[in-house]
Amino acid sequence: MSPALPPQDLLFEIGTEELPPKALARLEEALAAGIRAGLEQAQLAHGALRSFATPRRLAVLVESVATHQPDRRIQRRGPAVEVAFDAEGRPTRAALGFARSCGTEVEALERLRTDKGEWLLYQAIEPGRPAIELLPGIVAEALAQLPVPKRMRWGAGEVEFARPVHWAVMLYGRVVVEAGILGVHAGRETRGHRFHCPGPLTLESPDEYAQRLLKPGYVLADRGERARRIREQVEACAASVGGRALIEPDLLEEVTALVEWPVALVGHFETRFLDVPPEVLVTTMQDNQKYFPIVDDQGRLLPHFVAVSNIESREPDRVREGNERVIRPRFQDAEFFWNQDRKTPLIARRPKLAEVVFQEKLGSLLDKSDRLMTLAPHIAGQLGRDQSWARRAAELAKCDLLTDMVYEFPALQGIMGRYYALHDGEPEEVAWALEEQYQPKGAGAPLPAHDTGRILALADRLDTLVGIFAAGIRPSGLKDPFGLRRGALGVLRILIEQDLDLDLLELLHEAAARYPRALEAQRVVPEVFDFCVERLRAYYAQQGIPADSFEAVAARRPTRPVDFDRRIRAVEAFRRLPEAEALAAAHKRIHNILKKAEQAPGEVSPADFSTAGERHLWEALRTARTEVEPLFTAGEYTRGLERLAALREAVDRFFDEVLVMAEDPAVRRNRLALLSTLAQLFLQVADISRLQSTPQ
């Protein structure tokens, strides 16, 4: 047996040039997951696992890693004894070969007796391998599986990684694990802050890692702790000038990935720049400079910002002045663009849209704008909204893409359109539509708040969906260059969540009709519709709605998303009723019976009923149909299904008393017709035979 030695802590760290900040969190999580998986696969028991990540390092600390794998009992069955020995009892070639493959002699083999005979048997205890031998392979595999955005080579070697590797640490307890890691030899020396503590720091044991980096290393290695400290400092800086900081989660994560020793400070800029739209200034601060803007209690931008430095300077005022010098020319450029762009009305820019290609087969942005100018008013007419506003918004929709401001800051498309439209004297409803055409920008993002904005957002996405499919481009895997999945979900969210009861299939046909006949856009409409319905699957899954509820409704192919949603909600309410599970099971049975029937059942003939069960179900169905069909027509599916749940007793009685597949063809056909009538009543909402089970 292997010696019982106490478990030891494991530390692995890899030191690099500055890692991609937007990938740092993903790399840290993947390395931790990879090492955990490797330890488990090797059957090395361990305690808590903690990961670290800074711009210059990834590290994992695992407590109490077993010193050895557990011993393994080996048992191999060899040839039958009757073929393992000859008549004189001498081992045959079969026995000798088996013994040799086991690394032993025939005489050392045991016998296995079973009901089917006697066999040669090899048994042994294989000692577990030492952890220190297994750890290099575990770490190497974890590194190989990291989701590195783009690997690079450096020097004369063939090693590849996200950035050049300068050092590696691998300690098992107090012992260095001998290993080559991405071109460097593992040791016990880490590095501190590039400027505050550039020399090596020797680690005696894994448990001193974080504290040793903190002091004297000036490195806060825990990414989560670093983010908390940045947030606290930024909030304190903003409060010092009477405001609050805008701390976007993505920006906080990126800044956390850019510094090892965060030091926040307040910077200032001239108040004249506040005349520029605040979105421009905020975008400049957040996207270009990684600064945190400061606003007052009313959400109005203040002439201050918070920068996070990666150094604790003896002259913080000089650091502050440096950040202010950097932001000033950017604000001056934005101010210049703002003033210059307003000299040319949006509508005057429209002819130049002909020079911007939307898609090779679909023409220019001017062509797209022309299509929207008829599609948007059509949608407005269906909703009873102002068609002239919809047409004007479509006419101006893409014009701000030709402004200097949007060219410099593409993320401001639509937003600048709103500002420039208001400056040009356009109606406020039209101006807001120019911004809201791009909403929602992602899952869970805000929806358009104005009628014309909703209409333009729908028209724009519908045109793109149909056109790109007609051009022969389909999303595949992770590739979706035109954002069709996001666009389809946006259409569905606007229709459902803003209760716009429009027919999606009809809208897609309308969009297709605006393309040249040669493109044959109408032929892809059914495919685009199915593509949109598939987006609903994920939409409802995120709300916790089971897949079979979705399938039950999708089987009926409702073409109005609002109607689809009402049916889903009704099915979910139905599933909570005590009668639901029995009725769903009965409908599966009915579905199977009707599927196997040789011919269509036809109409029900009450005169041909021969049992009380048939008559009772027929009367119950007639009464229920009278009550629920007006409800279904009005879209009140929940109330209708609640009423149909009362049919359970009649359905149960029918199946208890009646043999559906009677020998008499006329009787059989009539009973099938009765069941078909029952099924069709429920099918006006959903195919409940697809429900698997009801939630408790």
| Residue 555, in any domain of the structure | no
Backbone angles phi, psi at 601, to 5 degrees: -70, -25
- Percent helix / strand / coil, the chain, rounded to 5: 55, 15, 30
Distance CA 649, CA 645 (A): 9
Residue 207's pLDDT is: 96
pLDDT tens per residue across span 132-173: 999 999 999 999 999 998 899 988 778 899 999 999 999 999
Lowest mean pLDDT among 45-54, 103-112, 386-395, 414-423: 103-112
Distance CA 225, CA 331 (A): 33
Contacts of residues 151-159 at CB distance under 8 Å and 24 or more positions apart, as own/partner, are 155/183, 157/183, 159/183
pLDDT tens per residue across span 343-356: 999 999 999 999 99
Q: Do residues 429 and 521 share a domain? A: yes
Q: Which residues neighbour 625 within 8 Å (Cβ) at sequence distance 6 or greater?
A: 681
Q: Are 435 and 418 in contact (CB under 8 A)?
A: yes
Q: Are 486 and 467 in contact (CB under 8 A)?
A: no
Residue 592 has pLDDT above 90, yes or no: no
| Helix residue ranges per DSSP H, 358-450 | 365-383, 387-396, 404-408, 415-423, 428-436
Distance CA 126, CA 508 (A): 67
Q: Which residues neighbour 271 within 8 Å (Cβ) at sequence distance 6 or greater?
A: 303
| Residue 2, in any domain of the structure | no
pLDDT tens per residue across span 280-316: 999 999 999 999 999 999 999 999 999 999 999 999 9
Residue 481's pLDDT is: 82
pLDDT tens per residue across span 236-278: 999 999 999 999 999 999 999 999 999 999 999 999 999 999 9
Which residue matches tokens 């002045």?
Answer: 321
Q: What percent of the chain has pLDDT over 70?
A: 98
| Residue 540, in any domain of the structure | yes
Q: What percent of the chain has pLDDT over 90?
A: 72
Which DSSP string corresponds to 520-577? -GGGGHHHHHHHHHHHHHHHHHTTT--HHHHHHHHTT--S-HHHHHHHHHHHHHHHTS
3-state secondary structure of 68: strand
Q: Are 617 and 654 in contact (CB under 8 A)?
A: yes
Q: What value does the mean pLDDT of the chain take? A: 92
CATH of residue 601: 1.10.730
Which DSSP string corresponds to 273-297? GGGS-HHHHHHIIIIIT--EEEE-T
Distance CA 525, CA 587 (A): 32
Residue 63's pLDDT is: 97
Distance CA 528, CA 485 (A): 11
- Which pair of tokens denotes residue 149? 């955005």
Residue that wins the pLDDT comparison between 366 and 673: 366
Q: Are strands 72-80 and 110-114 parallel, antiparallel or unpaired?
A: unpaired
For residues 607-617, give the mean pLDDT.
85
Q: Do residues 236 and 288 share a domain? A: yes
Q: How far is CA 314 from the centre of its chain?
A: 45
- Which pair of tokens denotes residue 27? 């790399």
Distance CA 455, CA 462 (A): 11
Q: Residue 407 corresponds to which amino acid?
A: Y
Ranges 151-160, 176-185, 601-610, most confident: 176-185
3-state secondary structure of 627: helix
Angle at CA 12, nearest 5°, toward 11 and 13? 125
Q: Domain boundary residue among 196, 214, 232?
A: 214
For residues 67-85, give the mean pLDDT.
88
**In the structure, what pLDDT confidence band is assigned to residue 2 with cuts at 50, 70 and 90?**
very low
CA atoms within 13 A on the CB side of 474: 9
Residue 15 has pLDDT above 70, yes or no: yes
Distance CA 160, CA 139 (A): 15
CATH of residue 538: 1.10.3210
Q: Are 574 and 645 in contact (CB under 8 A)?
A: yes
Residue that wins the pLDDT comparison between 317 and 582: 317
Backbone angles phi, psi at 492, to 5 degrees: -65, -40
Q: Do residues 600 and 531 share a domain? A: no
CATH of residue 146: 3.30.70
Q: Do residues 300 and 388 share a domain? A: no
For residues 394-405, give the mean pLDDT.
97
Residue 436 has pLDDT above 90, yes or no: yes
- Which pair of tokens denotes residue 658? 């009646």
Residue that wins the pLDDT comparison between 246 and 443: 246
| Residue 173, in any domain of the structure | yes
Q: Do residues 417 and 537 share a domain? A: yes
Q: Do residues 38 and 149 share a domain? A: yes
For residues 508-522, give the mean pLDDT.
95
Distance CA 166, CA 204 (A): 20
Longest dimension (CA), the chain: 112
Which residue matches tokens 């900040």?
Answer: 21
- Which pair of tokens denotes residue 513? 């009709």
Which residue matches tokens 């299939």?
Answer: 505
| Residue 566, in any domain of the structure | no
Q: Do residues 488 and 618 share a domain? A: no
3-state secondary structure of 189: strand
Q: Domain boundary residue among 214, 231, 262?
A: 214
Q: Which residues neighbour 250 within 8 Å (Cβ) at sequence distance 6 or greater?
A: none
| Residue 561, in any domain of the structure | no
Residue 688's pLDDT is: 83
Q: Name the domain count of the chain.
A: 5
**In the structure, what pLDDT confidence band is assigned to residue 695 with cuts at 50, 70 and 90?**
very low
| Residue 21, in any domain of the structure | yes
| Helix residue ranges per DSSP H, 576-664 | 580-596, 612-633, 637-644, 648-657
Range of the structural domain that residue 368 is part of: 347-544
Q: Do residues 239 and 199 share a domain? A: no
For residue 246, CA distances in Å to 178, 290, 297, 372, 462 come to 48, 12, 12, 36, 35
Q: Which residues pair with 60 in a beta bridge?
A: 12, 51
Lowest mean pLDDT among 37-51, 123-137, 178-192, 301-315: 123-137
Residue 390's pLDDT is: 98
Residue 1's pLDDT is: 40
Cis peptide bond upstream of 329, omega within 30 = no
Angle at CA 324, nearest 5°, toward 333 and 253? 95
Q: Do residues 88 and 101 share a domain? A: yes
Q: Are 462 and 507 in contact (CB under 8 A)?
A: yes
Q: Do residues 234 and 302 share a domain? A: yes
Q: Do residues 414 and 266 share a domain? A: no
Distance CA 463, CA 471 (A): 12
Residue that wins the pLDDT comparison between 423 and 475: 423
Handedness of CA 275, 277, 281, 282 (dihedral sign): positive
pTM of this structure: 0.82
Q: Are 187 and 167 in contact (CB under 8 A)?
A: yes
Distance CA 395, CA 50 (A): 56
**In the structure, what pLDDT confidence band is assigned to residue 117 with cuts at 50, 70 and 90?**
confident
pLDDT tens per residue across span 408-420: 999 999 999 999 9
Q: Do residues 428 and 316 share a domain? A: no
Residue 696 has pLDDT above 70, yes or no: no
Distance CA 231, CA 615 (A): 73
- Which pair of tokens denotes residue 416? 């600048």
| Residue 556, in any domain of the structure | no
Q: Domain boundary residue among 180, 196, 214?
A: 214
